[in-house]
Structure 1
């Protein structure tokens, strides 16, 4: 009986999954996602060359029900195949885990301790692992970390200017979106083989910018938590720590209420007062929408320039993510001030979301990311090692 492997990316409001042939070529056999978990979710699943199927779930279905629906679809489509391994995206590996690791009770306990650092991600990543372990106790589970790709930063990029004891205890910059950056760095080397110093902008509802030198991450706009670096859909981005103290002095403020506000009420949504969705803001005539877009683009420009400085120059710029791949006006705003780095856009190629949109000395690429295949490769390697 031929074997397959399953890749799971579980979040607070969505669940993505993919099925691969468990062989050297890693042929993708199908996959899908559940969106709007807890708010009228639907499971959209598809096999290659087939029409996508939409399967309704109860309006109040949570993550556990979404995972059960995914497994029901998997059993119906691949029940005759042996499930060899399940690979999971886990956002934070902390100091301990800088490469994919098989999950056991001790690993889960160490990862749970990181829940407060990334509260919108880690608890849901780990809950999916637990449920899959319960449903398929004999199938190995592999945790693949968003922080791992950034684990070889130089000390000057890793360290805050805090007492050394805090750094040694783990209060340091980690960087995130690493599974996406690992894939994009590989694609950049394939598409622009002469480009050693690459800046990658992963721009979506979560957004960041990464400096890659010879395929290796040396810095990223995200730091200790997923709040830093850039304004995002609902997250604040760079913030003077004194603002948090100021907010905590307000009437009725608590650490939990301030944290919720910084994660869920800021960013594009907070500035515009309209939406966290860049598509809605670009379509809006409101001045507040324009202010939110301009603020986002300004910070992206600043971070790209900062990453180029960390690299000592730039040989290629890559855009990815929902905004990076599809929002031509945003890419135009971001790149317009970067002529001093040799970055200029081909207006026509940018408008049609072309694969190569640079018109200056530095190549500019639009590359869709694929975190699932990075996890699938790690699963393949784990099976081979076993």
Structure 2
């Protein structure tokens, strides 16, 4: 019998990234195909990488929406399946709310409940769910599974999830949820291959990319994280502000006369590295620039990351390892160096040559605090959960 194939989808407002995994004997997963559709709603283009050296690109019709994009993806996937049998689609869904602490097969009730969470993740949730709706229309026979970025953090103690607000708001779902959970789940599962003592002990994982957060792991379980009720909280990001005094929001509304929509745009799209630098949201551009404002944006990012690692180390009662992952964490050597040099007080001895080489180990052999680079793979996590639930 042919092996099954699992389709993984990560949909944004103007793009859909996808991957296909072969699901063979003993639950083995092998990446078979990957690609993306970019420019949805405008000049949409489909990219297909068969992992054998062939990369194809084709234009979709002008103004193609998510339905057209997903239809093109499914056509491309089926054309490259060979003997494989496509059995399910798994989705990255940013917000699962309080009801979902694990992946779930999507039915009408689940989908409706997830739509209710859109105000909590306005940059992500509507587009994640647009892909689910599109697959339901263009391939209604295909089972779908939702994998949540919030679910991994439901192991946190209540004190780590609670705001100092009247309890009525907590009962209505105003709590710290945390995000990037699929990435943290992958790192937690892989850490023992690099550092068994850290995997069983106390680790801070730094998921640093256009969206950025930190997670404190105790024995591989999330006990605290820097993001909270929404994906705005915590570290400065590419375009998001990170932690901010709530009084600033009141000031913008009451004294600056901004509308709620204007404040939302400011905090989600015009702040972070872009806002501070006035140049770019891309860390690579800032590191290459000699503009003082670009340097100040990088300094702020590193300062806030270092400050938050210190806080998470206190929550853990000490620290055995730090792990860098995602785009900035895996590739921005100067950013890692600045952060790691700031952890010398915890006994970290940086190996400069190893950091320049990209690791995986970044610290000297005798370092009391160890540091690693471990590439994340959220798609593989989604594929595994989808195969378990729906294949």
TM range (shorter): over 0.9
Contact 1:22 1:84 in 2 (8 A): no
Secondary structure of the 1:27 match is strand
Match of 1:201 among 190, 199, 206: 206
| TM-score, normalising length: structure 1 | 0.95
Unmatched 5+ residue regions in structure 1?
A: none
Correspondent of 1:305 among 310, 315, 340:
310
- Give the deviation of 1:55 after TM superposition: 2.8
Cα distance between partner residues in 1 of 2:163 and 2:237: 22
Aligned with 2:49 (options 11, 32, 46): 46
Task: Select which of 207, 214, 221 maps to 2:219.
Answer: 214
Q: How many residue pairs were aligned?
A: 384
Which of the numbers 333, 350, 362 marks the counterpart of 1:357? 362
By how many angstroms is 1:56 displaced? 3.2
Calculate the aligned-residue CA RMSD, in Å. Answer: 1.6
TM-fit CA distance, 1:40: 4.5
Q: Structure 2: where are the runs of 5+ without partners? A: none
Aligned match of 1:228? 233
2:247 is matched with which residue? Answer: 242
Q: Distance in 1 between matches of 2:10 and 2:355?
A: 30
- Compared CA separation, residues 99 and 134, structure 1 to 2 (3 A): same
1:189–1:215: 8 Å Cα contact kept in structure 2?
no
For residue 168 of structure 1, the aligned residue among 143, 158, 171 is 171
What is the aligned counterpart of 2:274 among 256, 269, 272? 269
Distance 2:90 2:214 in 1: 25
Deviation at 1:308, TM superposition (A): 1.2
The alpha carbon displacement at 1:13 in A equals: 3.5
Provide the C-alpha distance between the structure 2 equivalents of 1:80 and 1:191, rounded to a whole number of angstroms. Answer: 36
Q: Give, in angstroms, the shift of residue 236 of structure 1.
A: 0.3
Q: Distance in 2 between matches of 1:79 and 1:117?
A: 41
* Aligned match of 1:27: 30
Q: CA separation of 1:136/1:58 partners in 2, compared to 1, >3 Å: closer, same or farther?
A: closer
Q: What corresponds to 1:382 in structure 2?
A: 389
Alpha carbons of 1:36 and 1:307: their partners in 2 closer, same or farther (altered >3 Å)? farther
Q: What SS does structure 1 have at the residue aligned with 2:155?
A: coil
**Does the 8 A contact of 2:67 with 2:138 survive in 1?**
no
Q: Hey, what does 1:94 align to over in structure 2?
A: 97
Shift of the 138–55 alpha-carbon distance from structure 1 to 2, 3 Å rule, reads: same
Match of 1:293 in 2: 298
Pair 1:19–1:343, CA change in 2 (3 A): same
- Local SS of the residue matching 2:29: coil
Q: Does 1:133 align with 2:133?
A: no
Q: TM-score, normalised by structure 2?
A: 0.94
Tell me the secondary structure at the aligned position of residue 228 of structure 2: coil
Aligned-pair CA distance for 1:240:
0.4
Tell me if 1:113 matches 2:116.
yes
